[in-house]
Amino acid sequence: MSVIQGSKRNLEELRSRLSERSTILLICVSILFMWLDLGNEDFPTTAFWTWACFLILGLGVRRLAARHPILERHLLVWGTTAGLVAAMYLSDVSWLVFLALPLILISALIIPYSHVIVASVIGIASIRQPDDSIPALYEPWTYWLLLVVCVLLAWMIVSTLYTALQWAWTMQQRADELLELTRDRQEELNRMVKSLELAYATQRRTQRELYFARKQAEEARHMKEQFAANVSHELRTPLNLILGFSEVMYFSPEIYGEINWTPPLRQDIYHIYRSSRHLSEMINDILDLSRIDFVGFSLNKEQTSLATLLYNAVEIAEGLFRGKPVELKVEIPDDLPVLDIDRTRVRQILLNLLSNAQRFTVEGYVKLSAKLTSKEVLINISDTGPGVPADKLAHIFDEFYQVDHSLRRRQDGAGLGLAICKHFVEAHGGRIWVESRDGAGSSFFFTLPLPDALKFNTRPGTIQPVEMTWPDYHPCILVVDPDPNVAAIIERHIPDYDVVQVSDPDLLPKEISLSHPQAVICNVAPGTSCEASNNIAESVPFIECSLPSQSWMADKLRVAACLTKPVSAKALLTETNRLGNIREVLIIDDDRGFCRLIERALQASGQTFEMRFAYDGKEGLAAIRARQPDLVLLDLIMPEVDGFEVLEDMQQDSKLADIPVILLTATSLAEDMLAQNKSRVVIHRSGGIRHAEILNCLQAIVSVLEVDYGEQTAPEE
C-alpha cells in the first residue's frame, strides 16, 4: 500500500471518528437547549422546535453511521448548515451567526473543501437581519473578515494534518519493512540453526557408529569374550526365573490368592530378590570384563558411609552361611569415614571375597574386619579354609585362574571373582593382596585410600585413561505424513526415540541418508498403501499403519485443509499463506466467540484481511452467493444446515466449487473413518526380516492387542 493510500485511509478513519463525536455533541446540545426552553416562562416555540430539528438530525445521522458513513458526513455538514441558516432567519438571537465558526472547522475536517461553501452560505445569510429594530452585534464587513480568517485557518489545519498523517504512515510503513526484514533474517537464522543441528546430529550418529564399530572390532580379537558370554548366558537363564518370581512374590503377592504371607516369609523372599539382583549385576560385570579392558574401567563414585556399606554386604552374605558349620564374624569399628567410592563395585568386592571364603571353608569361621590408618582403610576377610599353596599365590588374581584345575574340583566358578576384585580395587587407587599358608587358612586384604591420600598415590598402573562419554542418544524414527499431529502422537507414545516428520514422500531417501533411522513409519489411509517403500534402503524396516490424520479428511471432502479445534493461530496462518492471495475471508460458525477469536488471530498476523461472518449454514451459503470470498473457514457441526451440506452445495455449484475451504472441526472424524474402513499394520524390509526379529515383533504385538469376541452363544452339545 502506497503512502498516499495509507494516509487517506487514516484520514478517513479520523473523519469517521470526528463525525461520530460531532453528532453526539449536536445531540447533547440540542437536548440541553430544549430543556432550558421548557423551563422558560415565555415558552420560545420557534427556538424549541429549531433545537428539536437539530436533535432529529443528530439521531438520523447516528443511524446512518454504520451502513453509510459518507452519507452520514454529508448529512451532518449540510443539515447543520441548513439548520443554522434557518435559525438565523427565524430567530431573533444575533449570536447564532458565530456558531458558523466551529462549523467551518468541523466541516473542513469531515468533507474536503466543504468549509468554503459553508462559509459562503453563512456569509450571505448574515446580510439580512430578521428584525431591524434589534441592534446588530457586529459589523457585516467585520464578520465577513472573520469568516475568511476562519476558512484560511481551517485550510491550514487540514493541510498540516494531512502532512502529519503522511509522515506517520511513512514511518509506520518503514517500521513494517524493517519488521518484515527482521522476520526474514530470523527465518534464515532458524533454517541455518536447524541445518546445523541436523548436521551435528548426523555427525554424532556417524561418530557413534564408528566408535562402536571400532570397539566391536577390538573386542573380536579377545578370545575370552566367547567364554565369558557363554558363562553369563548359562547363569542368566536360571537367574532370570529366580529374580522374576521373587520380585512378583515380594511386590505383588496378591496374585497368588489366599496365602498367609508371614513377615519372616516376606523377609526371606526379599533377601532372595535382593541377592538375585546383585548376582544379575555381577553377571553384567562378567560381560563387561569380556568386552573391555579393565584398565579403562569407569566408576560411578558417590559419598558413602563405609561402615554402612560393610554391614549391608554382610546382610546379603548371611544367607550363604545358613545351615553350614561355618560362622560369619564381623569386627567393624565405629570410626570408619565417609569415602567417595563406587558403592556397587566395593560391595561386589566384599561379596566376592566372602563368597570365595565360604566356598573353600568346610568348618570354622570367616571373619570380616576393618581398620583405619593414617592414609587408608584396611579391610580383611580371613577364613579357616585349606589355604593356598605358595606356588599358586602369584597367579591367584589372574583372570580365569583356578587353583584346582582338575575336572573333579569341589568348588565351581569361572575364575573371575578375584580378578574382578583386583581391577575394582585398583580403579579406586587401592591395593589388594593375599596372605596364606597351605592348610592354615587365607587372609585377603584390600585398601581404600582416604580422600587426602589420593593425591599422593602415584603407584604405576593406577592412572585410569579417560573413558569416552556420549551425550544422551535416542535412535531416530521417520514418520511419513503431512499432518504434524501424527508425528506428535507417535513421539508421545514412543518417548525413547527422536521422531522426525517427513511431509513429502519424495524426500524420504534424503532423510534416511541424513538421519539413519531405526525405522520408517508411513501413515496411510485405510484401504491404501504407501508407495514410498520402493525408495528406501534395504536395511531400514518399513512400517505401514493407519493413525487418525486430518489430511485424510481434507482429501476425502476435497477441501484445502482440515484443522481441529482448538485451532492455533500459527496453523491457521500457515494454511492461509499456503493458499496465497487471500484478502476476503468468510467465517461460517455458530459460535460467535470462536468467530471473534479467528478474527483476532488473523488481525494479529499483520496482514490485511476483510472479515465477514455467518452464524449458520444457510446464512453462509447466502453470503457466499452474494459475494464470493477468497477463503471460507467452515465449521462442520452446526444446527439446521451443517457444514457437510454447505460443502455439498458449493461443490455442486460450478461457480462456487473453486473457492478454497478450510474446515474447523472439534470432532474426531478421522477416527470414525478408521472405524468404518478398518486399518492394518504392515512391517516389511527389502532385505528380509530375521527369525528372531519376527518372534520379537510377535511377542510385542500379542502383548498389546485386545480380544473382543462379542456376544457369542455356547455351542450345543
**Distance (Å, whole) CA 544 – CA 531:** 10
Residue with cell string 473382543: 708
The answer for residues whose C-beta is within 8 angstroms of residue 90's C-beta and 6 or more apart is 46, 50, 130
Q: What cell does 289 get? A: 570384563
Calculate Rg over the CA atoms of the chain: 46
Q: What are phi and psi of 645, to 5 degrees?
A: -65, -40
- Map grid coordinates 453462509 to a residue: 620
pLDDT at 379: 93
Neighbours of 396 (CB within 10 A): 21
> CA-CA distance, 227 to 278, in Å (whole number)?
21
Say how many C-beta atoms besides its own lie within 10 A of residue 624's C-beta: 22
DSSP of 247-315: HHHHH-GGGG-S----HHHHHHHHHHHHHHHHHHHHHHHHHHHHHS-GGG-----EEEEHHHHHHHHHH
What does the alpha-carbon distance between residue 687 and residue 689 come to, in Å, rounded to a whole number?
A: 7
CA dist., res. 97 & res. 88, Å (int):
7
Q: Strand 326-331 to strand 376-383: parallel, antiparallel, or no bridges (unpaired)? A: unpaired
Locate 128 and state its grid cell: 439580512
Reference 630, options 696, 585, 667, 674; nearest CA is 585
Q: Report how far apart, in Å, the C-alpha atoms of 290 and of each of 221, 272, 345, 698 are.
A: 11, 27, 17, 32
Strand partners, 706: none
In the block, which residue shows the cell 450571505? 124
Alpha helices in 126-139 (DSSP H): none
Centre a 10 Å sphere on the Cβ of residue 449 and count the other Cβ atoms it contains.
Answer: 21
As a whole number of angstroms, the distance between CA 120 and CA 138 comes to 17
Q: What is the mean pLDDT of each run of 10 residues along the chain (717 residues)?
A: 57 74 79 74 67 78 75 78 73 67 78 77 66 51 74 78 76 85 88 88 84 72 55 58 71 75 83 76 59 52 89 85 85 89 88 86 89 90 85 71 42 59 87 84 90 50 45 77 80 80 82 84 78 66 80 78 72 82 87 76 77 88 89 84 86 87 70 59 78 80 69 46
Quick one: three-class SS letters along 413-457?
Answer: CCCCHHHHHHHHHHHCCCCEEEEECCCCCEEEEEEEECHHHHHHC
Contact (CB, 8 A) for 360 and 384: no
Residue 54 is given by DSSP the state: H
Distance CA 710, CA 714 (A): 12
Place of cell 473543501: 113
- The 3-class SS string of 211-231 reads HHHHHHHHHCCCCHHHHHHHH
Contact yes or no for 63/20 (Cβ under 8 A): no
Give residue 245's identity as a one-letter amino acid code. Answer: F
- Residue 346 CA to residue 353 CA, distance in Å, equals 11
pLDDT of residue 291: 46
Q: What domains can be seen in the chain, in order of their start residue? A: 3-172 (no CATH), 293-456 (3.30.565.10), 476-547+679-684 (3.40.50.2300), 551-667 (3.40.50.2300)
Q: How much is the pLDDT for 271?
A: 79
| Residue whose C-alpha cell reads 522476520 in the numeric block | 183
What gap in Å lies between CA 10 and CA 3, rounded to an integer? 11
pLDDT of residue 296: 46
Secondary structure E strands in 288-394: 302-305, 326-331, 338-341, 364-372, 376-383
Distance in angstroms (rounded) separating the CA atoms of residues 354 and 368? 8
- What residue ranges in 538-691 does DSSP mark as E strands? 542-545, 561-564, 584-588, 610-614, 631-635, 661-665, 682-684
Cell reading at 210: 564408528
Q: Give the position of cell 476425502.
A: 556
Q: What is the DSSP string of 440-501?
A: S-EEEEEEEE-GGGGGG---TT-PPPPPP-------EEEEE-S-HHHHHHHHHH-TTSEEEE
Q: What is the pLDDT of residues 430-442, one digit of tens each?
A: 999 988 877 778 8
Task: Say what the pLDDT of residue 444 is.
Answer: 92
How many C-beta atoms surround the C-beta of residue 464 within 10 A? 16
Number of CB atoms found within 10 A of residue 246's CB: 20
- Residue 633 identity: L
Whether 368 contacts 350, CB under 8 Å: yes
Query: Which is it for the CA torsion 116, 122, 128, 132, positive or negative?
Result: negative
On whether the CB atoms of residues 169 and 10 are closer than 8 A, the answer is: yes
